[in-house]
């Protein structure tokens, strides 16, 4: 008997990725859809699945804030997102109705954390934190294959940070201005330096400042959750060589207190799954619906 195929959607502020994934986590078919308005974007994702091979369940890894309470009438909808046109967008409801299969949602960083922990190379860490840095900044912690979650999913991109010496950029977070996301997300980098992060190349001044801000999140994660590994992904966070720079800055920021974790050069790393962490995490969500 052939194992059923899984539907996976990674919903981002810039693009959506949708895929048909096999039970052993191989991507069979995939598409990228620009994030425009909800009707257009979700309609294009639904059309992909209508034309693709049938799937037995759907998992969604979504940008947020998103309602993750299965008992809530707004389960799977965005809540208070600053993304224009997307507040209250029922991502899960629209796609579940279109496909007619069991469906569930996690945040994009929760799904990526679980995928890195579950599908990454051996030895697999029991506690792993995943940080995405791109249009925004988000972070999550996976413990033994499940995301740690309190009453609501975490918003670690909005922690307060100390300004790097000489940085007078005001910040761009619409809620806090100069929180971590306001100072270090991709659009903040572009606004501060006048160039897209993808064009920063060997600009050590750009990446040293970025590393100094992101190292402050490493400090928070280390002291709050004591993870075995912290993975940085996303359009900015996954830049080659950035993880090593963040780890070096973290040694300075931890100040010698409880910095034993930094003896391991793999404590701060790039994603083992490359750009597929979130998408494969969504597939794991779908697989869990069938396993259960």
Q: Domain check: are 239 and 263 in the same one? A: yes
Total domain count, the chain? 2
In this predicted structure, the answer to whether residue 292 has a pLDDT above a threshold of 70 is: no
Confidence (pLDDT) at 131: 97
In this predicted structure, the answer to whether residue 291 has a pLDDT above a threshold of 90 is: no
The per-residue pLDDT for range 196-253, each reduced to its tens digit, is: 999 998 899 999 999 999 999 999 999 999 999 999 999 999 999 999 999 999 999 9
The per-residue pLDDT for range 125-163, each reduced to its tens digit, is: 999 999 999 989 999 999 999 999 887 788 899 999 999
In 37-188, the DSSP E strands lie at 57-62, 103-107, 127-133, 137-143, 146-147
Q: Domain check: are 45 and 162 in the same one? A: no
Reduced to 3 states (helix: H, G, I; strand: E, B; else coil), residue 222 is helix
Confidence (pLDDT) at 281: 98
Note whether residue 136 is domain-resident. yes
Question: What would the mean pLDDT of 109-124 be, rounded to a whole number?
Answer: 93
Closest C-alpha to 208, from 235, 169, 244: 244
Which element (helix H / strand E) includes 18?
Answer: strand 15-21
The per-residue pLDDT for range 52-87, each reduced to its tens digit, is: 999 999 999 999 899 999 999 999 999 988 788 999
CATH number at residue 40: 3.30.420.40
Q: What percent of the chain has pLDDT above 90?
A: 85
Q: Domain check: are 228 and 257 in the same one? A: yes
Confidence (pLDDT) at 153: 81
Q: Domain check: are 264 and 125 in the same one? A: yes
Q: Domain check: are 11 and 54 in the same one? A: yes
Q: Domain check: are 45 and 137 in the same one? A: no
Task: Tell me the torsion sign for CA atoms 54, 37, 10, 60.
Answer: negative
Peptide bond connecting 38 to the previous residue in cis, omega within 30 degrees of 0: no
Note whether residue 79 is domain-resident. yes
Note whether residue 36 is domain-resident. yes
Q: Domain check: are 227 and 172 in the same one? A: yes
Q: What percent of the chain has pLDDT above 70?
A: 99
Q: Domain check: are 149 and 281 in the same one? A: no
Closest C-alpha to 117, from 150, 155, 143, 148: 143
Note whether residue 83 is domain-resident. yes
Q: Which domain holds residue 44?
A: 6-107+275-291
Q: Domain check: are 21 and 147 in the same one? A: no
The per-residue pLDDT for range 25-50, each reduced to its tens digit, is: 999 999 999 999 999 999 999 999 99
Q: Domain check: are 263 and 282 in the same one? A: no
Note whether residue 115 is domain-resident. no
Note whether residue 113 is domain-resident. no
| Number of other CB atoms surrounding residue 194 within 10 Å | 8
Q: Domain check: are 133 and 172 in the same one? A: yes
Confidence (pLDDT) at 3: 85
- Report the number of secondary-structure helices (H) and strands (E) in the chain: 9, 10
Query: Mean pLDDT over all residues of the chain?
Result: 94
Note whether residue 116 is domain-resident. no
The per-residue pLDDT for range 191-208, each reduced to its tens digit, is: 999 999 999 988 999 999
Q: Domain check: are 92 and 143 in the same one? A: no
In this predicted structure, the answer to whether residue 165 has a pLDDT above a threshold of 90 is: yes
The per-residue pLDDT for range 87-108, each reduced to its tens digit, is: 999 999 999 999 999 999 999 9
- Residues paired with residue 142 on neighbouring β-strands, in sequence order: 128, 147
| Number of other CB atoms surrounding residue 87 within 10 Å | 14
Region of residue 233 (left: phi > 0; alpha: psi -120 to 50; beta: else): beta
Question: What would the mean pLDDT of 181-188 be, rounded to a whole number?
Answer: 97
Note whether residue 20 is domain-resident. yes
In this predicted structure, the answer to whether residue 278 has a pLDDT above a threshold of 90 is: yes
């Amino acid at each position: 008997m052939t194992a059923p195929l899984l539907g996976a959607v990674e919903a981002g502020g810039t693009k959506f990725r949708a895929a048909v994934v096999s039970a052993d986590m191989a991507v069979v078919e995939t598409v990228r859809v620009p994030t425009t308005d909800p009707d257009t974007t979700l309609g294009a994702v639904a059309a992909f699945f209508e034309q693709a091979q049938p799937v037995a369940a759907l998992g969604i890894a979504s940008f947020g804030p998103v309602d993750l309470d299965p008992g809530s009438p707004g389960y799977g909808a965005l809540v208070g997102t600053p993304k224009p046109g997307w507040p209250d967008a029922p991502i899960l409801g629209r796609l579940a109705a279109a496909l007619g299969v069991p469906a569930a949602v996690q945040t994009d960083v929760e799904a990526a954390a679980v995928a890195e922990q579950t599908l990454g190379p051996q030895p697999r860490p029991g506690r792993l934190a995943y940080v995405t840095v791109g249009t925004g900044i988000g972070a999550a912690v996976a413990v033994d294959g499940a995301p740690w979650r309190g009453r609501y999913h975490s918003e670690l991109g909005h922690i307060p940070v100390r300004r790097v010496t000489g940085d007078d950029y005001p910040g761009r977070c619409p809620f806090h201005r100069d929180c971590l996301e306001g100072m270090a997300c991709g659009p903040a980098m572009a606004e501060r330096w006048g160039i897209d992060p993808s064009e920063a190349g060997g600009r050590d001044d750009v990446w040293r400042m970025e590393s100094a801000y992101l190292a402050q999140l490493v400090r928070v994660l280390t002291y709050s959750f004591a993870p075995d590994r912290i993975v940085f992904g996303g359009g900015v966070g996954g830049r080659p060589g950035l993880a090593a720079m963040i780890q070096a800055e973290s040694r300075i920021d931890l100040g010698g207190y409880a910095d034993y974790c930094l003896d391991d050069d793999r404590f701060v790393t790039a994603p083992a799954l490359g750009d597929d962490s979130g998408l494969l995490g969504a597939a794991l969500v779908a697989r869990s619906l069938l396993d259960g």
